[in-house]
Amino acid sequence: MGSLFSGAGLGDLGLHRAGLKHRWFCECDPYARKILAARWPGVPILEDVRDVSAETAHPVDVLAGGFPCQDVSSAGKRRGVKEGTRSGLWFEYLRIIREIRPRYVIVENVKALLSNGMSTVLQGLAESGYDAEWDVFPAAAFGAPHLRERVVIVAYPHGLRQPGAGPILEADAHLAKCGRPDGPSDWNGLRLEGPRAQAALSAHPGPVLRRVDDGGPYWVDRLRCLGNGIVPDLMEHVGRLVLAAETCRAANP
């Protein structure tokens, strides 16, 4: 697999656990690149997504990554997925898909993408010859004491999957087991009502980092990486679904 907008590799850690092997990463942040180099020694790390192409990156079966959410997120300026914005780097992602032609594409972003740019993403994939499916995965469904919902899109070339094959993300047993609430509700027996919900705080026995008043400025880079990342267990789950689908497809060409 190849990884775009890799950050500190939190999502990549999950995909690695699922059984995917990294051929290369792409990340612009120097601190995050140090973490990637330490965790995956010897794997090339490209620095600028605009420099990734069929000539500069090895061909891969799976291309994964979450393009910047700043212009999509409800906490941002809501400019959407447009040229010239940070979230507009999606078009570089799309260019790389068209050049490398991976068998599977895994895209993740904040839930707000559904109402602020999803049609642009799906249109680009369709025009590139890729079918797509998507679902919303909350971190709470994978044991985290917070909701942190993420949209995950899985795309593949039109015609790759047999007409009778169900969607890769269809009837997800893990989410069905945990329930499918929308908004504040119970996840794995934990009532989640907001970032300061007492239930969430009591479920997390570790230290609470307060960013500027904890006396540890060296945490800033780490906090930024965590804030930009995705829960590894979530992406491990998605990776296993993709690998299971590919195994089934290969056994029934």
DSSP-based three-state secondary structure for 242 = helix
CA atoms within 13 A on the CB side of 36: 28
Name the pTM for this structure: 0.83
Paired tokens of 160? 């790759």
Point out the residues that are catalytic: 69
Q: How far apart are CA 63 and CA 69, in angstroms?
A: 18
pLDDT tens-place string over residues 151-207: 999 999 998 988 778 889 865 666 665 554 444 445 555 555 544 445 445 555 555
SS3 of the chain: helix, strand, coil, percent, to 5: 40, 15, 45
The pLDDT tens digits of the residues spanning 41-84 come to: 999 999 999 999 999 999 999 999 999 888 787 776 777 788 88
Residue 227: how many CA atoms within 13 Å on its side-chain side?
A: 12
Q: Which helix (H) or strand (E) holds 203?
A: helix 198-203
| φ/ψ (deg, to 5) at 206 | -80, 180
Please say whether the dihedral angle defined by the alpha carbons of residues 157, 162, 166 and 172, taken in this order, is positive or negative.
negative
Q: What is the pLDDT of residues 226-249, one digit of tens each?
A: 777 788 999 999 999 999 999 988
CA separation for the pair 171, 176 (Å, rounded): 7
Domains and CATH numbers, the chain: 2-251 (3.40.50.150)
